[in-house]
Amino acid sequence: MITNIPARAVTFLLAACIIFLPGCRNYLVPEEGSSSLKNARIDFQEDGVGEAEWKGKHLDINYSISQKSAEPVISGTVTIHDRVLMSFDRLEKLVVKMNFLDNSGSVLGTVDITPNYAIYDQVRGPLQFKTVGAPVAGARSFAFSYFGTLFGRLAESEDSLEIFYFPFD
């Protein structure tokens, strides 16, 4: 038998969403001035980066930064590791950020480089991204951060795995 949800319960749920959802956003985007871990910093070349690769715990990012045109382009691919995909091959959510840093490793700004993907589809290779826009002025290095949720093969399991990397204090 279905009963009406009391107004207090609805009010409580709305309040919880208002309180906790902004925290999720801050988890994905470090506050300006936050300091990055030294081993997460990648030196930024002013003339751009041809092609380079960053290897993470759960995924690798092949990227290039081109500043030769009026509209600089950050592009590349995100490849989730095979050892993750063997058990969790369906992607529910993935957010990838490139965080620009000053000389001391403090965050100046963040660019979203989340790749294109279809929710709950099986991951079958590298996921592509392309972002048009300039890196933050004064950036001397950058660091990647990511958060994602993957599910197991739907016929076998409904278990999930959260992957993340957030190298900021």
Identify the structural domains of the chain with CATH numbers, from first to last.
7-165 (2.60.40)
Taking only the tens of pLDDT, the chain with its 169 residues reads: 445 556 565 455 554 444 444 444 445 788 888 999 999 999 976 565 678 999 999 999 999 988 776 677 899 999 999 999 999 999 999 999 999 999 999 999 999 999 999 998 899 999 999 998 767 788 889 999 999 999 986 655 678 999 999 999 8
pLDDT, residue 9, reads 56
Residues 6+ apart with CB under 8 A from 59: 78, 79, 80, 81, 84, 146, 163
Rg (CA), the chain: 19
Q: What is the pLDDT of residue 155?
A: 56
Contacts of 95 (CB under 8 A, 6+ apart): 28, 112, 114, 146, 147, 148
For residue 18, the model assigns a pLDDT of 45
Give the H or E element holding residue 73: strand 73-80
Helices (H), 66-112: 82-85
Question: Does this model's pTM top 0.85?
Answer: no
Q: Which two tokens stand for residue 126?
A: 């590298």
pLDDT of residue 24: 45
Residue 143: burial class (beta carbons within 10 Å; 0-12, 13-18, 19+):
buried
User: Which two structure tokens, joined as six digits, stand for 123?
Assistant: 């991951």
